[in-house]
């Protein structure tokens, strides 16, 4: 075996800084090329996402005057937030949105988890069942709202016919505040529960089977296995589903706008519907954007608190 001489070793050592410089130059060039190709996408995202958010915050802090040529900004103020925080309609919209979010998300998570457990145990027909589950979820919310509006219609609706045939009278599902809220929740739960179920099925498939085999060897029954093994391992998946549903439910707009119009009265007026009405019906752009910004801040705080509690539970488990 030929041993390297001192001159060869010195030459190799002397080449290393050159190689490092070449690699650094190549890395910088690749980075510039990557940014060049990514810049159009980043520009579009900034125009359609970041800029509207910043512009909405600016409008919420401005004295907005509507004219025939559009609207004008005349100084900055916090009066828009003071106006909405002291308005009874905003307080009710906030209470309704929070109540609606908590109830629908809780029901959807429970039903979705149960459906996911059933689908995960199916040996035949799982693909067909999941395809059927995708139908409500993949349906556009506006079309789903129109469908449920026909079902709950007080004159020719399907539910009206069923109740009449059973001799239960002719209730007005969308005519009273309580029934309208329940009807809207039913429509939302019907549409979005499959979304939670699919996420739960994906989480169940990824769970390690060795843990369940060990539980079976220890003599654990199905109920004990679910509470002591399946549910703790499934917490991250359920947390992800809850986060997605909180973001969607708290900003609900199209379902109440089409199904109930926010009524009767203001019974089903969410913060998003109230923001729309304030801006485009009352032409109060400052207060309308303040409602939208306040809703975004509240849902952000809620998600952060949920993540903090979830992490604490996982660390204690």
User: Which pLDDT tens digit goes with each residue over 41-79?
Assistant: 888 888 888 888 898 998 999 888 877 777 777 778 888
Angle between helices 231-250 and 285-316 (to 10 degrees): 180
pLDDT at 283 > cutoff 80: yes
pLDDT tens track for 95-122: 999 999 999 999 999 999 999 988 888 8
**Peptide bond connecting 307 to the previous residue in cis, omega within 30 degrees of 0:** no
- For residues 76 and 163, the answer to whether their CB atoms sit within 8 Å is no
Average of pLDDT values for 145-160?
A: 88
Cα maximum dimension of the chain? 104
What is residue 26's predicted lDDT score, i.e. its pLDDT?
74
- Distance separating alpha carbons of residues 93 and 87, to the nearest angstrom: 10
86 to 59, 89, 287: CA distances (angstroms):
19, 9, 12
What is residue 288's predicted lDDT score, i.e. its pLDDT?
92
Provide the b/e sequence for 182-192 (b: ≥16 CB within 10 Å). Answer: ebbbbbbbbbb
Average of pLDDT values for 12-17?
A: 53
Helices vs strands, H then E, count in the chain = 14, 2
Q: Which of the listed ranges 113-127, 170-184, 215-229 does the model predict with the highest average pLDDT?
A: 170-184
Q: Using the structure block, give the residue that is written with the tokens 């954007």.
A: 289
pLDDT tens track for 228-272: 888 888 988 898 899 889 989 999 999 999 999 998 989 999 999
Q: Mean pLDDT, the chain, as a whole number?
A: 85
29-33, 175-179, 181-185, 312-316: segment of lowest average pLDDT: 312-316
- For residues 286 and 60, the answer to whether their CB atoms sit within 8 Å is yes
pLDDT band, very low/low/confident/very high, at 11 (cuts 50, 70, 90): very low
Name the token pair of 180. Answer: 């309208």
Provide the b/e sequence for 133-156 (b: ≥16 CB within 10 Å). Answer: beebbeeebeebbebbbebbbeee
- Distance separating alpha carbons of residues 83 and 67, to the nearest angstrom: 21
DSSP code of 98?
H
What is residue 10's predicted lDDT score, i.e. its pLDDT?
46
Q: Using the structure block, give the residue that is written with the tokens 């989480």.
A: 203
HSE-CB at 262 with a 13 A cutoff on CA atoms is: 16
- Distance separating alpha carbons of residues 311 and 317, to the nearest angstrom: 10
């Amino acid at each position: 075996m030929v041993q390297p001489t001192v001159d060869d070793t010195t030459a190799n050592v002397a080449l290393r800084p050159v190689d490092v410089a070449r690699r650094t130059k190549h890395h910088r060039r690749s980075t510039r090329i990557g940014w060049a190709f990514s810049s159009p996408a980043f520009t579009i995202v900034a125009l359609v996402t970041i800029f509207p958010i910043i512009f909405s915050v600016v409008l919420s802090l401005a004295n907005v005057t509507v004219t025939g040529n559009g609207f004008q900004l005349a100084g900055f103020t916090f009066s828009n937030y003071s106006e909405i925080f002291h308005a009874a309609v905003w307080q009710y919209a906030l209470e309704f949105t929070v109540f609606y979010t908590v109830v629908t998300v809780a029901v959807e998570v429970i039903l979705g988890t149960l459906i996911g457990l059933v689908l995960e145990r199916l040996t035949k027909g799982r693909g067909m069942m999941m395809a059927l589950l995708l139908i409500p979820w993949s349906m556009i919310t506006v079309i789903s709202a129109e469908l449920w509006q026909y079902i709950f219609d007080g004159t020719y609706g399907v539910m009206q016919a069923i109740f009449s045939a059973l001799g239960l009278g002719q209730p007005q599902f969308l005519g009273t505040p309580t029934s309208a809220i329940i009807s809207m929740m039913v429509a939302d739960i019907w549409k979005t529960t499959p979304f939670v179920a699919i996420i739960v099925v994906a989480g169940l498939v990824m769970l390690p089977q060795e843990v369940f085999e060990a539980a079976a060897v220890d003599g654990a029954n199905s109920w004990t296995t679910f509470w002591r093994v399946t549910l703790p391992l499934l917490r991250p998946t359920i947390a992800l589903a809850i986060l997605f549903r909180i973001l969607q439910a708290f900003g609900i707009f199209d379902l109440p706008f089409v199904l109930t119009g926010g009524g009767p009265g203001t019974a089903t007026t969410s913060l998003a519907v109230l923001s729309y009405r304030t801006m485009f019906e009352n032409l109060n752009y400052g207060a309308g954007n303040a409602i939208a910004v306040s809703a975004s801040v509240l849902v952000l705080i809620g998600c952060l608190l949920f993540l903090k509690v979830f992490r604490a539970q996982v660390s204690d488990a």
